[in-house]
Amino acid sequence: MIFIPPRFVVVDDKPEHLTAILGVFQKLGTPCLGIAYDAERELEARSFAGVRALFLDLHLIDLAATTDESRHFAVIAGILEENISLRGGPFVLVVWTEHEDSVRQLTRYLDESLDPQKPHARPLAIVSLPKSRFINVDTGEPLQGKASELRDAVEAAVNEKAQLAALVAWEADVQAAAGATLSALMELVPEEHRNTASFARGLDEVLSRLAREAVGQPHVAADPWAAITSALAPILADRIANQQVPPGALETWRAAVTWEGREPLDANRAGMVNRMLHLAISPSETIRPTDWGAVVEFPEGWWNDDGLRSRFGVTLGQLLGQEFKIGRADRERCHPRLIRVGAACDHAHNRSGPLPYLLGLEIPSGVERQPDNTGTVRLPASEWSSPTLSVGANESPFALAVNSRYSLSVTRADAEGWRPAYRLREQLLMHLISHASSYLARPGIVQF
C-alpha cells in the first residue's frame, strides 16, 4: 500500500466551506483530506487512521435555534469513537467556532461522555479557530494571505502540548530515516541499470541479495517481506537513533520530558509499560506458534500427571509445588506456557529439525512463592523470571517464570496447531535465552 493515511483531516457539512479550507491547505503545500459530512452516511474510519490534526465544525447538523449544544457535542463524540484508530496515535481536535465557551463545554462533555474503553479517541488538546479568519463564510472563498496564519495557528495548537509536538516531530524523523534508507538502497543499483527501462531489474537484484543473505536462499520465497525487513530494520533503527537533531527539536524534547518523580509504578501500570516494551500482541502483530519468542498455551491434554510424567518426569504437584514454589491455594490462578527459544540464526534461516521450547508459568502479581522448612524462599538457579507483564488493559498483571531445565522439542507440524498467547520481543527473549544458555553450560568440577 503506497498511500499513507493523511495527517490533516477536515470534516464539514458545508461543501463550499470545505472547498475553501482545502484551498488554504493547498496554498501551504500540505496534504489534507476533506470529508463532506452527511448525517445519513457513515464516515470511513480508514480516513482517520493516521490523523494528527482533526478539523471539525462545531455544528455539523442543522437544528432549530437552541442553547443546548449537547446534540452537536454528541455528533462529535460519535465521530471520534467510531473513527479514530486504536493504533493511530495522538491527535489535536481543532473546532471551527468563535465561541471559546462552547469549546470549554465540549471539552467537559467529551471528558465525561467518551467511552472509557476507547482512550485512543480522546484528543490530546482541543482548540478553537474561527473560520472567518481564513475564509469568507458567506461566499466560501479563501481569504488572501491567510494560509500562513492557519499554519501558525495549527503549529501553536500542537506546540501548546510539548509532549505532542515532540512525538509528532519524532514521527517525522522516523519517516525521514525511512526515506534515507530507501535512498541508500537506490544507490546500490548497478550503474548499467540506472535508467527507466531497467531500474526495477537492478533493484530486484539488490533486494534479492539482501534477502538471501538475511534468511538463506531456500527461505526467501516463503516470506520475502520478513527477509527484507530483517535486513533493513537494523539499518533503519540506526538511522533513527543517530540522525542529526535540529537545536529547536532538542528544546522541544527538553520541554516534553520534565517529570522527575521517583515513586515506583504499581503492578498494573508496570505491566502495561512492559507490555509495550517487551510483548507483541495479536491482532496488531502477527504471531505464529512457531515464531521465535512465541509464548503458546500449554496443550491442555498434557497438563496432568500422566502428560507431565511422560515429558518431564514429574507430577503436576511436584512441578508446581517443588519447582515453581506455588502453594495449593494459588495453583489454579497460574497458567502454564511454552516459550519458543533456540538460536536466532536457526530461526532466521528456517533451519530444519525440531523446534525447542521451554516450560514457563504465568504467576499473577501478589502470589507468594512458598518457603522451605527454614522459612526461606529458594528459587532454583534454573529459573528466569520476566518483569511484571500484562497482555490486556483488563487483565491481571503477572510475571512469566521459565525453568531452563524443563525443555522439549517438537516438529514444526506438531507445533503449528498450538495457540499463541503473545510473543516476547527480542530484548527480553535474548535475556531469557542468555540465562538458559548460561545455566545449561555452567561448568562443574570434582573437588575434595
Domain end residue (candidates: 138, 160, 182): 160
Mean of pLDDT values over 1-15: 82
User: Both 142 and 247 in a single domain?
Assistant: no
DSSP-assigned states of every residue in 20-73: HHHHHHHHHT---EEEE--TTS---GGGGTT-SEEEEES--S---S-S--HHHH
pLDDT at position 305: 95
Q: Does residue 2 sit within a domain?
A: no
76: pLDDT strictly greater than 60: yes
Q: Cell triple for residue 175? A: 519517516
User: Both 181 and 131 in a single domain?
Assistant: no
User: Both 402 and 368 in a single domain?
Assistant: yes
> In this structure, what are the phi and psi dihedrals at residue 30, rounded to the nearest 5 degrees?
-110, 125
Per-residue confidence band for 141, with pLDDT thresholds at 50, 70 and 90: confident
Q: What is the pLDDT of residues 112-140, one digit of tens each?
A: 999 988 989 999 888 888 888 878 777 77
Q: Does residue 37 sit within a domain?
A: yes
Q: Give pTM, 2 decimals.
A: 0.77
Domain end residue (candidates: 256, 291, 318): 256
405: pLDDT strictly greater than 80: yes
Q: What is the CATH number of the domain that holds 126?
A: 3.40.50.2300
Mean of pLDDT values over 54-63: 82
Task: Give the lowest-confidence range in 72-81, 175-184, 210-219, 398-407.
Answer: 210-219
Strand, helix or coil for residue 295 = strand
User: Both 328 and 198 in a single domain?
Assistant: no
pLDDT at position 227: 84
Domain residues for the domain of 227 are 167-256
User: Both 43 and 105 in a single domain?
Assistant: yes
DSSP-assigned states of every residue in 354-399: PEEEEEEEEEETTPPBPP-TTS-----TTEEEPPPB-SSTTSPPEE
Annotate 171-198 with b (16+ C-beta within 10 A) or e (fewer).
Answer: eebeeebeeebeeebeeebeeebeeeee
Chain-centroid distance of CA 97 in Å reads: 34
397: pLDDT strictly greater than 90: yes
Domain end residue (candidates: 236, 256, 276): 256
Q: What is the pLDDT of residues 92-107, one digit of tens each?
A: 898 888 888 888 999 9
CA 231/CA 251 separation, integer angstroms: 34
279: pLDDT strictly greater than 90: yes
pLDDT at position 282: 86
Q: What is the pLDDT of residues 370-389, one digit of tens each?
A: 998 888 889 999 999 999 99
Strand, helix or coil for residue 137 = coil
Per-residue confidence band for 29, with pLDDT thresholds at 50, 70 and 90: confident
Q: Does residue 124 sit within a domain?
A: yes
Least Cα distance to 347 among 338, 339, 356 occurs for 356
User: Both 15 and 151 in a single domain?
Assistant: yes
346: pLDDT strictly greater than 70: no
349: pLDDT strictly greater than 70: no
Task: Give the lowest-confidence range in 18-27, 136-145, 397-406.
Answer: 136-145
Q: What is the pLDDT of residues 422-442, one digit of tens each?
A: 999 999 999 999 999 999 887
Q: Does residue 337 sit within a domain?
A: yes
Per-residue confidence band for 351, with pLDDT thresholds at 50, 70 and 90: low
Range list of β-strands (E), 246-344: 279-280, 294-297, 335-340
DSSP-assigned states of every residue in 183-226: HHHHHTS-GGG-STTTHHHHHHHHHHHHHHHHH-GGGTTT-HHH
User: Both 245 and 354 in a single domain?
Assistant: no
Per-residue confidence band for 345, with pLDDT thresholds at 50, 70 and 90: low
User: Both 62 and 143 in a single domain?
Assistant: yes
Q: Does residue 242 sit within a domain?
A: yes
Q: Cell triple for residue 269? A: 501500570
Q: Does residue 448 sit within a domain?
A: no
User: Both 347 and 296 in a single domain?
Assistant: yes
pLDDT at position 61: 80
Per-residue confidence band for 357, with pLDDT thresholds at 50, 70 and 90: very high
pLDDT at position 389: 95
Q: What mean pLDDT, rounded, does the chain reach?
A: 87
Number of domains observed in the structure of the chain? 3
User: Both 57 and 141 in a single domain?
Assistant: yes
CA 17/CA 25 separation, integer angstroms: 13
User: Both 392 and 316 in a single domain?
Assistant: yes
1: pLDDT strictly greater than 60: no
User: Both 148 and 174 in a single domain?
Assistant: no
Q: Does residue 239 sit within a domain?
A: yes
Higher pLDDT: 12 or 401? It is: 401
Q: Does residue 226 sit within a domain?
A: yes
Higher pLDDT: 160 or 67? It is: 160
Handedness of CA 321, 327, 329, 332 (dihedral sign): negative
